[in-house]
Amino acid sequence: MSGGGGTGADRERAVDPLAASMARVAAGDRDAFGEVYDAVAPKVLAVTRAVLRNPSMAEEVTQEVLLEVWRQAARYDPSAGSVGAWATTIGHRRAVDRVRSVRAREDREDRVVAGEGRVEYDEVSEQVLQHEDESRVRKALTGLTELQREAVVMAYWGGRTSTEISAQLGVPVPTVKTRLRDGLQRLRVDLARGEPAAGSAS
């Protein structure tokens, strides 16, 4: 499964300096938790804010996630990814859960007004790529084609399912899934090679 870059990614995970802090957090060390907080809270807030598009809700979810990190510290498994990715994953999942229950209701109304999908994407894209994380996200996603990038941004930063993306773009679900898969594989390979995300000091 892993190509030439796999080993590099493994190595990178193995030396996550936060893993050692997590072991101390698991023993109830609050200073260590402070270190972990400072390292991961900005990412968790960025992702929850992108998905929720509501700053106070994003803060609320970020608080929940960081307290989950504290609560589950002893169960954190370094072999299953970095602390940052772990916390970001929990944050994304919670934000998505929250927004989907709201969106399910909204979309029933939206469906009446056809053609609004594009506007929605532009909104997400604007928020994520300009207001929020412009240079970083752009750089990380430069290896993707425009269509892949659109699908990945709508799914991850927009919190959309492939079915929702399909409806909004007017593109069949299998096509959306292919774009997502290909885009995410490209992102994964780029990270393993250390490019282009690592070159953020332009």
Partner 1 sequence: MDGYDGGAHGLTSLYAVDALDPQEAAAAEAHLRGCADCREELVEVREALAAAVADEPAEAPSAALRARVMAALDDVPQLPALPAAVAPAASASEPDDELSRRRARRETDRTSAARAGGTTGRRAPRRWVQGLAAAAAAVVVAGAAVSGYAALQWREEARSAQQVALAVTQVAGAPDAQLVDAQGGAEGWGSSRVVVSRSLGEAVLVPTGVEDAPSGRTWQLWFVTGDAARPAGTFAGAGSAAVLSGAVDGADAVAVTLEPAGGSETPTSTPVAVYPLTA
User: Which one of 88-96, 109-117, 118-126 is the stretch in contact with partner 1 (CB under 8 A)?
Assistant: 88-96
Q: Which is nearer to partner 1, 70 or 110 (CB)?
A: 70
Shortest Cβ distance from residue 119 to partner 1 (Å)? 21
Q: Which of 81, 110, 125, 147 binds partner 1 (CB under 8 A)?
A: 81
Question: For residue 77, with 0-12 CB atoms within 10 Å meaning exposed, 13-18 middle and 19 or more buried, which class applies?
Answer: exposed
Binding of residue 161 to partner 1 (CB under 8 A): yes
Binding of residue 71 to partner 1 (CB under 8 A): yes
In this structure, what token pair is assigned to residue 105? Answer: 């209701």
Which secondary-structure segment (H or E) carries 112?
Answer: none
Binding of residue 167 to partner 1 (CB under 8 A): no
Q: Which of 150, 160, 167, 168 binds partner 1 (CB under 8 A)?
A: 160
d(C-alpha 5, C-alpha 3), whole Å: 5
CB atoms within 10 A of CB 103: 16
Shortest Cβ distance from residue 143 to partner 1 (Å)? 11
Binding of residue 175 to partner 1 (CB under 8 A): no
Residues in region 3-22 near partner 1 by CB under 8 A: 3, 6, 9, 13
User: Which one of 23-31, 106-114, 115-123 is the stretch in contact with partner 1 (CB under 8 A)?
Assistant: 23-31
Q: Which of 41, 52, 124, 167 binds partner 1 (CB under 8 A)?
A: 41
Binding of residue 181 to partner 1 (CB under 8 A): yes
Closest among 190, 161, 163 to 51, alpha carbons compared: 161
Residues in region 104-133 near partner 1 by CB under 8 A: 131-133
- Is the CA virtual torsion 134, 80, 51, 49 positive or negative? negative
User: Which one of 45-53, 104-112, 114-122 is the stretch in contact with partner 1 (CB under 8 A)?
Assistant: 45-53
Q: Where are the alpha helices (H) located in 111-145, listed in sequence order? A: 117-126, 134-140
Binding of residue 84 to partner 1 (CB under 8 A): yes
d(C-alpha 177, C-alpha 165), whole Å: 9
CB 9 within 8 A of CB 15: no
d(C-alpha 110, C-alpha 167), whole Å: 11
